[in-house]
Amino acid sequence: MRLYNTLARKKQEFTPANGNDVNMYVCGITAYDLCHIGHARSSVVFDVLFRLLRHKGYNVTFIRNFTDIDDKIINRANEVGKSAADIAKQFINEFYVDMDRLKVLRADVEPKCTEHIGDMIALTQRLIDKGHAYSTTSGDVYFKVRSFEGYGKLSGRNIDELESGARVDPGDEKLDPLDFALWKSAKPGEPFWESPWGQGRPGWHLECSAMSEKYAPLPLDIHGGGQDLSFPHHENEIAQSEADTGKPFANYWVHNGFVQINSEKMSKSLGNFFTIRDILDKFLPETLRYFLLTMHYRSPLDFSFEALEEAEKGIKRIYSAMAQADVELSKSSWKKSPFPEELTAELDQIETHWVEAMDDDMNTAGALGHVFSAVRLTGRIAEDKNLRKSEGGQVFFTRIKTDMANWGAVLGIFEREPTEFLTELRDNRAARAGIDPARIQQLLDDRKEARKNKDFDKSDAIRDELAAMNVEVKDTPQGATWDVA
């Protein structure tokens, strides 16, 4: 497969360094607040990459860390009068709650910063020994950016230009304004760990280097994270790890694009963000996950509830086709009538296109387009009395179900029992519209009675009443069902 590599600024054929083994490290959350949609996107994107690589037969080791000590956590802890450790623990738990709902799989290794302080101290010491870092009288340790030749290669920065724009904080003891902290001395009242440089805590960039090195042989095959992490976070990780080991840190750098609100970056500082909970109060988790996959992972994604409603229609249509296939397959006898080869060939094509799309830099949006081709094909066959009752039809519907299951396993969607999901979706939409399902059922029962007596005037009047409530009725051979219009 091909992947866009930020380091090369183009798509490249993905080849793991070690045969069939793939090591993938993704920067996880800083645990100080509930996750927002941006976290959801990043998590879902790399979850799909994880699933896709495994699906392709690679032996994947997926590492996703938790930053459980840093300024934001300490600040939050002080605000609410808890310990930093308690805050981190709390929001790691909340992270799991959200991710489980979004069907984001657990990583193989989920290391926490505070459990690797010793590794980080050791790495810092090695960098000092090698002349890449220095300690100050106040007990801070800085990485000497100019001692690392490749600095700026990931983000395309020029070190001299960075220098000219660098902010100089008169309080610190950096030899060069570009130098960044590996170890920060503890201020009074802050959590700290003992180190050769006194009481303090690790700098943010350090943990990813230390933990990557610990849990995977370098270079990593894939290192991922949000686009904003490429500078300075990932640049600094490269400097630390490559200065330490002399080996490349990661071969493929994968960055996901941002979630935007009205074409503007969603961020805490702008205050225009939605948490995952905000969304899931109104929409099903699968709707959100599907929505996130309808755009290519590197493109900016504009979030709105209107867009989510549109995504909801899409996933409803896909599940409806799956439900239809189930209905057809529930029949017991199949006719020997002919089944056109072109239809089988069409499905062959769709399967091929789907794989090609996913292999081309994980094009989930393109792949979903092909899923709709399968949906339409299913509808066309189910529509034709001869086809749907034929043995070829049975083979076809079975195959569609298998395809949907395979595609869904990689995308992390389409894994529910269709009618169950559709009912849940309907009730979810009803709840949003303030519709009471029990009241609807009562009206449907009345209407059924009227229809039984061929009292179509009354029947239609009831349907009009329902329509006024934004409910539409469907008469099926199994009886009337309803949905939110």
Partner RNA sequence: GGCGACAUAGCCAAGUGGUAAGGCAGAGGUCUGCAAAACCUCCAUUCUCCGGUUCAAAUCCGGAUGUCGCCUCCA
Which residue among 95, 204, 252, 253 contacts RNA (CB under 7 A)? 204
Largest CA-CA distance found in the chain, in angstroms, rounded: 93
Q: Tell me, what DSSP letter sits at residue 116? A: G
Kindly tell me which of 125 and 287 has the beta carbon lying closer to RNA: 287
Question: Nearer Cβ to RNA, position 17 or 105?
Answer: 105
Least distance in angstroms from the C-beta of 19 to RNA: 28
DSSP per residue, 37-103: HHHHHHHHHHHHHHHHHHHTT-EEEEEE-BB-SSHHHHHHHHHHT--HHHHHHHHHHHHHHHHHHTT
Stretch that binds RNA, among 73-81, 94-102, 281-289, 367-375 (CB under 7 A): 367-375
Q: Are 153 and 7 in contact (CB under 8 A)?
A: yes
Contact (CB, 8 A) for 407 and 354: yes
Sites for RNA among residues 457-476 (CB under 7 A): 459-460, 463, 472-476
Distances from the Cα of 21 to the Cα of 16, 223, 360, angstroms: 7, 14, 20
- For the segment 24-83, give every residue that binds RNA (CB under 7 A): 27, 29-30, 36, 38-39, 41-42, 71-72
- Please give the Cα distance from 104 to 421 (Å, whole number): 18
**Ranges within 379-398 binding RNA (CB under 7 A):** 379-380, 382-383
Among 127, 243, 357, 411, binds RNA (CB under 7 A): 357
Q: How far is the CB of 156 from RNA (least distance, A)?
A: 4
Q: How far is the CB of 264 from RNA (least distance, A)?
A: 4
Q: In the structure encoding, which two tokens stand for residue 84, read together?
A: 């930093």
373 counts as binding RNA under rule CB under 7 A = yes
Binding residues for RNA, total number by CB under 7 A: 86
The first and second tokens of residue 170, run together, are: 């008169």
Does 317 engage in binding with RNA (CB under 7 A)? Answer: yes
Order of all β-strands in the sheet with 250-256 = 59-64, 21-26, 220-226, 250-256
Residue 39 or 132: which CB sits closer to RNA? 39
Task: Quote the least distance from Cβ 268 to RNA, whole Å.
Answer: 6
End-to-end Cα spacing for the chain? 41
**Closest alpha carbon to 374 in 390, 359, 396:** 396
Query: What angle, rounded to 10 degrees, do the helices at 364-383 and 341-359 form?
Result: 170
Residue number with CB closer to RNA (187 or 247): 187
Residue 67 or 195 with smaller CB distance to RNA: 67
Contact track, RNA, 243-262, x by CB under 7 A: -------------xxxxx--
User: Strand (E) positions, 95-242?
Assistant: 133-135, 141-143, 180-185, 200-202, 220-226
C-beta neighbour count of 375 within 10 angstroms: 22
Q: Is the preceding omega at residue 232 within 30 degrees of 0, hence cis?
A: yes
Query: Of 35 and 125, which CB lies nearer to RNA in the complex structure?
Result: 35
Q: How far is the CB of 444 from RNA (least distance, A)?
A: 12
- Assess 9 for contact with RNA (CB under 7 A): yes
Of 108, 173, 176, 228, the one binding RNA by CB under 7 A: 228
361 belongs to the binding site for RNA (CB under 7 A):
yes
Q: What is the DSSP letter of 188?
A: T
CB atoms within 10 A of CB 451: 17
Restricted to residues 92-111, the positions that interact with RNA (CB under 7 A) are none
Q: Encoding tokens for residue 306?
A: 């209107």
320 near RNA, rule: CB under 7 A: yes
Taking the complex as a whole, how short is the minimal distance between the CB of residue 54 and RNA, in angstroms?
21
| Residue 429, amino acid | R
* CB-nearer residue toward RNA: 125 or 403: 403
Nearer to RNA, 409 or 480 (CB): 480
**CA–CA gap between residue 410 and residue 412 (Å, rounded):** 6
Sheet holding 301-303, edge to edge: 264-265, 259-261, 301-303
Q: What is the DSSP string of 292-321?
A: HHTS-TTS-EEE-HHHHHHHHHHHHHHHHH
Smallest separation (angstroms) from RNA to the CB of 440: 14
478 binds RNA, rule: CB under 7 A: no
By CB under 7 A, what part of segment 132-171 binds RNA?
Answer: 155-158, 161-162, 165-167
Handedness of CA 383, 388, 389, 392 (dihedral sign): positive
What single-letter amino acid sits at 67? T
What span, in angstroms and rounded, lies between the C-alpha atoms of 41 and 235? 22
Segment lying near RNA (by CB under 7 A), choices 49-57, 182-190, 194-202, 366-374: 366-374
Q: Which of 86, 194, 433, 456 binds RNA (CB under 7 A)?
A: 456
376 binds RNA (CB under 7 A): yes
| 231 counts as binding RNA under rule CB under 7 A | yes
Q: Candidates 150, 191, 217, 300: give the one binding RNA (CB under 7 A).
A: 300
Q: Verify binding: residue 409, RNA, rule CB under 7 A.
A: no
- Identified binder of RNA from the candidate list 199, 372, 437, 470, rule CB under 7 A: 372
327, burial (CB in 10 Å: exposed 0-12, middle 13-18, buried 19+): middle
CB of 406 to RNA, least distance (A): 18
Window 435-454: residues binding RNA (CB under 7 A): 451
CB 265 within 8 A of CB 234: no
Q: Identify the residue among 217, 248, 366, 437 touching RNA (CB under 7 A).
A: 366
107: DSSP letter: P
Identify which of residues 125 and 443 has a Cβ nearer to RNA in the complex.
443
